[in-house]
Chain A
């Protein structure tokens, strides 16, 4: 107990070591550039919330990080390794995991198979019990097709699938979209719990301010493909953030 609390204190006081380092990242769709040089560092065990209105580049940043879109220039460094030009699956192997906007579970596959799809990268064969401890409902629904789950259940499935890859950094793109308010609270609690247990770093993009304030250690605002504001949760000014989010 004692050593644990000392660790906690030193983790807060010492400079947190950087897990993910994004340097001057430019990303374009064809000729139109959408991210104009994003710089962002994420510490070990830190939860960073990426806020911004629709069309500001949150999804584009997430896709560039996981490798669904190529970066035009800049670097993505994960645990000291440059992953900028690796294919997606090697980034996952390096420790990145992704829960996309709209969840994108494999709808014709069963719930169990969906989770298992995340095990291959590390050659795992059985689903770790801790995933079922986090999301008990997924065990009951094991044989159901992913496409037949509710939005909230699909969200849990997408997170479980991502965690099955054994990540150091988890990317979540608008996880609260299309989910009931009661589940949103639950989701924030779950994410913090996962972080506390595993020292996972999390980047979560969000438009719901209350959720962002619930979950974040640090809030980053993106607008027009640039990061225009950063603050820790303690410094966060709700009204100022509302202004960034309103049209």
Chain B
């Protein structure tokens, strides 16, 4: 058989790697959603988006420490509290950043790029000062450590299922917010025509702040999910930001569906290729494919078809 694997081996490898890919997909998707919403509405590329993810990861870490030290009886549930806190902390810091810096730089994409890059370096240093340069890992409660056995060679980890489920609900939530809520209606109006949105009385400044906060908050949730697949360090966000940009560029910024499909195809391709080749080879192949496709379709693979 192929590379000496039997057919049933290959099937289990495929299923397990696909599932590993699904966890990666979850992190990518949450990251990309935040980045895409912010970029789509404000034209701001937030270079510090990865650090907001790490902020969420450290929040989760602190939460796990607090629970294990002071309220060990509830340790089993700490992750869900941590997710909410990660969202609130990253979202609040995001709104603060928008208020203190970003809003002065709208319509100056290069300046925003530089400024948010500076912010990412400052946040990394802040993390280093507070938490140290060493990686920290969270301790998972016992019930999240186990796995579901599909058959004797195929196992699906419980924490993975939780992360995927969480991502599913957050994506659904954002979708509903954008399409059904009053905030969403205003966001879509601002995305389509900022000056006209102001001219029908939409407080564009406030909507920008909320959207930026939401994007950063979702990155924080991605960080909480990330603690389950990797250990947190001040610079860990950097490894994810490139992939996230890739997802956003590939998917186009005009539809949530595009972002989802793009995150899915990129994470699956990465994860499955990684098993057979080296990690960097997988990265190169994915990158080349995406570049090739973007040369043919610069607006992204899944842009919306609407008369403008």
Q: Number of A interface residues, CB 8 Å? A: 30
Check A117 against B198 for contact (C-beta < 8 Å): no
Which of A37-45, A106-114, A194-202, A207-215 lies at the binding interface?
A: A106-114
Give A81-131 interface residues, CB cut-off 8 Å to B: 87-89, 92-93, 97-98, 100, 104, 106-109, 113, 116-118, 120-122
**A residues within 8 A CB of B204?**
87-89
Check B307 against A148 for contact (C-beta < 8 Å): yes
**B residues within 8 A CB of A26?**
none
> Closest chain B residue to A161 by CB distance?
B200
The contact of B192 among A93, A98, A108, by CB within 8 Å, is A108
> Complex formed: what's the CA distance from A122 to B186 in Å?
14
Check A104 against B185 for contact (C-beta < 8 Å): no
Check B200 against A108 for contact (C-beta < 8 Å): no
> Complex formed: what's the CA distance from A120 to B38 in Å?
21
Check A120 against B199 for contact (C-beta < 8 Å): no
Check A121 against B188 for contact (C-beta < 8 Å): no
- Contact indicator per residue, chain B 278-308, by CB within 8 Å of chain A (1) or not (0): 0000000000000000000000000010111
Check if A49 is an interface residue, CB within 8 A of chain B: no
Check B200 against A162 for contact (C-beta < 8 Å): yes
> Complex formed: what's the CA distance from A109 to B199 in Å?
16
**A residues within 8 A CB of B182?**
120
Check B193 against A104 for contact (C-beta < 8 Å): yes
**A residues within 8 A CB of B10?**
none
Check A117 against B308 for contact (C-beta < 8 Å): no
A interface, CB within 8 angstroms of B: 66-68, 87-89, 92-93, 97-98, 100, 104, 106-109, 113, 116-118, 120-122, 145, 147-148, 161-162, 164-165
Q: How large is the interface on B (under 10, 10 to 19, 20 to 34, 35 or more residues)?
A: 20 to 34
Check A117 against B189 for contact (C-beta < 8 Å): yes
Separation in Å of the B199 CB from the closest CB of chain A? 5
Check B200 against A92 for contact (C-beta < 8 Å): yes
> Complex formed: what's the CA distance from A67 to B304 in Å?
30
Check A67 against B199 for contact (C-beta < 8 Å): yes
Separation in Å of the A119 CB from the closest CB of chain B? 8
> Complex formed: what's the CA distance from A132 to B108 in Å?
42
> Closest chain B residue to A94 by CB distance?
B201
> Complex formed: what's the CA distance from A102 to B189 in Å?
17
The contact of A100 among B196, B203, B304, B308, by CB within 8 Å, is B196
The contact of B201 among A106, A109, A118, by CB within 8 Å, is A118
> Closest chain A residue to B201 by CB distance?
A121
Check B189 against A106 for contact (C-beta < 8 Å): yes
> Complex formed: what's the CA distance from A106 to B199 in Å?
12
> Complex formed: what's the CA distance from A66 to B201 in Å?
10
A117-B197, A117-B202 are known contacts; what are 16 more A-B pairs with Cβ within 8 Å? Answer: A67-B199, A68-B198, A87-B204, A88-B198, A88-B199, A89-B198, A92-B199, A93-B201, A100-B196, A107-B308, A109-B185, A117-B189, A118-B200, A120-B186, A120-B203, A121-B200
Separation in Å of the A53 CB from the closest CB of chain B? 25
> Complex formed: what's the CA distance from A174 to B185 in Å?
27
